Structure 1
Amino acid sequence: MNALVFTGTGLAMEERPIPLPGPGEARIRVTMAGICNTDVELYQGYYGFSGVAGHEFTGVVDRAPDQPELEGLGVTAEINCGCGACLDCLAGDPRHCPTRTVIGIVARQGAFAQYLVVPITNLHLLPKGVDDTQAVFTEPLAAALEIAEQVHLTPRTKTLVLGDGKLGLLIACALRVFCPSLVCVGKHPEKLAVAQAHGVKTIHVSGPDQYARHIGEFGRFDVVVEATGSENGPALALDWVKPRGTLVAKTTSRNPSLIDMARVVVDEIRIQGSRCGDFSWALSFLEQGLVEVTRLVEEIYSFDRFEEAMARAMTPGAKKVLVKF
Structure 2
Amino acid sequence: MPKCVILTAPRTVKVVERKPLIPEPREAIVAVETAGICGTDLAIFSGDYPRPLPMVLGHEFIGRVTSVGEGADESWVGRRVAAEINNTCVAHKRHILCHACTRGTPNHCQTRTVTGIVDRDGAFAEEVAVAEGTLHEIPDNLDPFAATLIEPLAAALQTFVMTPVTGKETVAVLGPGRLGILVVFVAALKGLRVVAVSRSEDKRHRALKYGAQEAFAPEEAREKILELTRGWGADIVVDSTGRPEGITEAISLVSPQGVVAMKTTCGLPLKELDTTQLAIDEIRLQGSRCGPFPQALEILAAHQDRLKYLVSSMRPLEKAQDALESAFSEHKVVFRASD
Verify same fold: TM over 0.5: yes
- Once residues 189 and 144 of structure 1 are traced to their aligned partners in structure 2, the CA distance between those partners, rounded to angstroms, is 22
**190-199 or 247-256, larger mean C-alpha shift:** 190-199
Pick the aligned partner of 1:236 from 240, 249, 253.
Answer: 249
Q: Would you say the 8 A contact 1:6–1:49 is kept in 2?
A: no
Instruction: Tell me if structure 1 keeps the 8 A contact 2:80–2:140.
Output: no
- TM (norm. structure 2) is 0.90
Distance 1:158 1:211, change over 3 A: closer
Aligned equivalent of 2:84: 78
One-letter code aligned to 1:52 = V
Asked if residue 25 in structure 1 is aligned to residue 27 in structure 2, the reply is: yes
Indicate which of 171, 174, 195 corresponds to 2:186. Answer: 174
| 2:323 alignment partner, SS class | helix
For residue 203 of structure 1, the aligned residue among 210, 215, 219 is 215
Matched, 1:113 2:125: yes
**Larger relative contact order, structure 1 or 2 (CA cutoff 8 Å, min sep 6):** 2
Distance 1:37 1:243 in 2: 30
Matched, 1:88 2:112: no
1:280 match: secondary structure:
helix
Unaligned regions of 5+ residues in structure 2, if any? Answer: none
1:226 aligns with 2:232: no
Counterpart position of 1:266: 280
Q: Which amino acid in 2 is paired with 1:236? A: E
Measured at CA, do residues 130 and 290 of structure 1 come closer, stay the same or move farther in structure 2, by a change above 3 Å?
closer
Query: Aligned residue for 2:15?
Result: 13
Q: Counterpart in 2 of 1:59? A: 63
Distance 1:61 1:155, change over 3 A: same
- The CA deviation at 1:13 is 1.1
Corresponding residue number in structure 2 for 1:309? 323
Residue 209 of structure 1 deviates from its aligned partner by 3.8
Q: C-alpha deviations, 1:261-285, integer Å up to 9, x for none?
A: 1110101111111111011111111
- What corresponds to 1:102 in structure 2? 114
Q: CA deviation at 1:128?
A: 4.9
Whether the aligned pair in 2 keeps the contact of 1:142 and 1:279 (CA below 8 Å) is yes
Alpha carbons 2:257, 2:282 under 8 Å: kept = yes
Alpha carbons of structure 1 residues 269 and 170: separation in structure 2 relative to 1, 3 Å: same
Preserved CA contact (<8 Å) 2:99 2:110: no
For residues 103 and 305 of structure 2, what CA distance do their matches in structure 1 show?
Answer: 31
Tell me the amino acid that sits aligned with residue 235 of structure 2: D
Is structure 2 residue 257 aligned with structure 1 residue 249? no
In 2, the alpha carbon distance for the partners of 1:279 and 1:287 equals 12
Aligned-pair identity (%) = 35
Count of residue pairs brought into register by the alignment: 321
**Partner amino acid, structure 2, of 1:254:** G
Can you list the C-alpha shifts for 1:10-69, whole angstroms capped at 9, x where unaligned? 111111111100211111000100000111111111223421010000000011253222
Structure 1 residue 250, shift from structure 2 partner = 1.3
In structure 2, do the counterparts of structure 1 residues 216 and 90 end up closer, same or farther at CA, with 3 Å as the change threshold? closer
Return 5+ residue gaps in structure 1 as ranges: none
Residues of 2 paired with 1:248 and 1:104: CA distance? 24
The yes-or-no answer on 1:68 pairing with 2:45 is no
**Alpha carbons 1:164, 1:188 under 8 Å: kept:** no
8 Å contact kept, 1:153–1:179 = no
